[in-house]
Amino acid sequence: MQRILLTVLNLLIPVSFLLPVGAEDRPNILFIAVDDLNDWVGHLGGHPQSKTPNIDRLAGRGVSFTKAYCNAPLCNPSRVSLFSGILPSHSGVYGNGERMRDKIPDTVTLMQYLRGEGGYSVQGGGKLFHGANPYDPDSWDHYNTPRRSRQRGKRDEGLPEDAWAPWGPLDVEDSEMFDVKNVNWAISELKKSHDKPFFLACGFTKPHLPWYVPQKYFDMYPLEDIVLPETLETDRDDLPHWGRKFAIEVHDVSGPRNVATHGEDHDMVTKHGQWHRAVQSYLATISFVDTHVGRLLDALDDSAHSDNTIVVLWGDHGWHLGEKQHWRKHALWDVTTRITLVMAGPESIQKNQLCDRPVSLIDIYPTLLELTGVPQREGLDGQSLAPLLKNPKRLWDRPVIMTYGYKNHAVQTDRWRYIRYNDGGEELYDSKADPNEWENLAPFSKYDPVKAELREFLPTRNIK
């Protein structure tokens, strides 16, 4: 009887009394993840032809980072590091096969912490964690899972069946796409009233391969006008052993292993005359995503939450389309690791600003805690970007650390990128003088002091 009475009394208590102190005044968070999105968006100029008016519109409302990087150039470790706040070298999550709860079972994800300490309602849908950690029930109040349908785009006529060309236009309406179904769900949530501050995460599966989207997005980029990325035929000649292997092959880097699982993509693309088509397809798929990011932003603008919502849009890693004669991710160069990262929202965030300081996805967790007034957590590897959101030009001398597999790391500062592989092989690039990373300076003794300085930032703890 006493338990029943307590239950009835709890139901009569206003929700605000059940929330942590101050939670009812905290801003909401609209969290938009875009799979495999590099910096090919209009306002960042990663490709001169990219059409992304809605992502650019979001950038106009906040701060966009021109030197934002992932912490691992692969879906699972990148996302686990963001949501856990722990670098891959400290978690042991290096590949797509490891499960977060096996490697770091006691971690408290960003969503868990916002639910508990912050009093947030937390919902997600689409692709947020990767396949090995699809939903993590501890992290969500609700997770939306639209039904997928198999779709294959139209390939070029005469292209052999065994040719690697997972791209082409679809003869379907947008409404049939998985990402659109998920956006529709997120829009329905934005239309609702909420008793708690909410964290609403919408994960796009595009522009991850295959690049199959409706024909109208391909029509935005006439094939005969496509501009290819700048490349150098001899770009691989000065790479050390593991740099060359990463350029040529896709690898399973779970734990300490480095096992080749795929051959030379660039040769296949050029052999079958698919380079222009591939670039067109990637651009088309980005514009597809941008269209539905626009629908999300419109829904937020039309909602009761428009004045009290932080919007974060991020890509999980970069993507090569022939630079260094390399395709996909799976490497530690600038193109493989540079991402789009935009933060917009209330008064504490500057408007229509580009920030040129190096930052990474590991910084999102502590940043959102500071912006929402939720107490900071100990043990996070990132640093809050709130000072840069208030003043994008302020000094910021903290380097970014990136990892691909056991003891393969890159350090990025404002000027330099230093890469060190598990066998001691090195690369060094002057990011200002050589933004394409065409000349590896590591073999030249005059740069030994630079390498020594950057080597101090490499992780000293590497979990297998």
Q: Residue 292 in contact with residue 250, Cβ under 8 Å? A: no
- For residue 194, indicate whether it is catalytic: no
Residues ≥6 apart with Cβ < 8 Å to 277: 156, 165, 167, 168, 223
Q: Residue 256 in contact with residue 464, Cβ under 8 Å? A: yes
How many Cα atoms occupy the beta-carbon half-sphere of 20 within 13 Å?
Answer: 16
Three-state secondary structure of 219-236? HCCCHHHCCCCCCCCCCC
Strand duo 68-69 + 338-339: pairing? antiparallel
Q: Residue 53 in contact with residue 290, Cβ under 8 Å? A: yes
Tokens 């391909």 found at: 218
* Tokens at 386, concatenated: 């709130």
Q: Is a pLDDT exceeding 80 seen at residue 360? A: yes
Domain boundaries, the chain: 23-230+274-397
Label residue 260 by pLDDT band (50, 70, 90).
very low
Q: Residue 204 in contact with residue 179, Cβ under 8 Å? A: yes
* Tokens at 431, concatenated: 């990011």
Among the listed residues 43, 47, 90, 130, the single catalytic one is 130
Q: Is a pLDDT exceeding 90 seen at residue 4? A: no
- Count of residues making up the chain: 464
Q: What is the pLDDT of residues 179-234, one digit of tens each?
A: 999 999 999 999 999 999 999 999 999 999 999 999 999 999 999 999 999 999 99
- For residue 202, indicate whether it is catalytic: no
- As a whole number of angstroms, the distance between CA 247 and CA 235 comes to 10
Residue 402 β-bridge partners: 410
3-state helix, strand, coil in the chain (%, to 5): 35, 15, 50
Among the listed residues 75, 330, 355, 409, the single catalytic one is 75
Query: What is the average pLDDT value for the chain, to the nearest integer?
Result: 92
DSSP letter, residue 71: S
- As a whole number of angstroms, the distance between CA 125 and CA 210 comes to 20
DSSP letter, residue 19: S
- As a whole number of angstroms, the distance between CA 247 and CA 16 comes to 55
Q: What is the pLDDT of residues 80-93, one digit of tens each?
A: 999 999 999 999 99
Q: Is a pLDDT exceeding 60 seen at residue 436? A: yes
- As a whole number of angstroms, the distance between CA 10 and CA 348 comes to 36
* Tokens at 61, concatenated: 């409302």
Q: Which of 394, 410, 412 is nearest to 402 (CA)?
A: 410
Neighbouring CB atoms inside 10 A of 161's CB total 6
Q: Is a pLDDT exceeding 70 seen at residue 66? A: yes
CATH architecture of 23-230+274-397: 3-Layer(aba) Sandwich (3.40)
- As a whole number of angstroms, the distance between CA 280 and CA 132 comes to 31
pTM of the entire predicted model: 0.93
Secondary structure element (H or E) that encloses residue 182, with its range:
helix 178-190
Q: What is the pLDDT of residues 171-189, one digit of tens each?
A: 999 999 999 999 999 999 9
